[in-house]
Structure 1
Amino acid sequence: MTNLDMGFDTDDLLAIKMEGIKNEEALYHQVAQIAGVKSITTSRFLPGIEGGWTPSVEFERNTP
């Protein structure tokens, strides 16, 4: 991933771990008002840093 064209400029990016933040929407709006901030997006995980997506399967009546 570090050598591929991601389709966007990876310089000047900031990632904030939201663990423990009680009002994510308020933080989102405050950051949006900072001069120079062009855009904001959210993600559950940082690509290449964190993982954790685990598919779940449910069975009827708990019978595999």
Structure 2
Amino acid sequence: MVISRREMARAKVEKLKNGFSAFSETQEVTELMERYIKEENMDVHVDKTSLGCWFIPADKHEVH
């Protein structure tokens, strides 16, 4: 079964919308996720590591 990287990125962004963190191992999926997050105007923390990229929904009650 072949899974589209676009579908994978969309599914991970849906997880973020539901309050769950998501991890991307590839640059392509990371870039797609960043684009979708920007389009949705979502508040997400991004933690890039040498192994991949964590996307963590921002706490709406967090004090800046």
TM-score, shorter chain, exceeding 0.5: no
Q: Normalising by structure 2, what TM-score?
A: 0.30
Structure with the larger RCO, 1 or 2 (CA within 8 Å, 6+ apart): 2
Relative to its length, the structure with more helix (as a share) is 2
TM-score after normalising by structure 1:
0.30
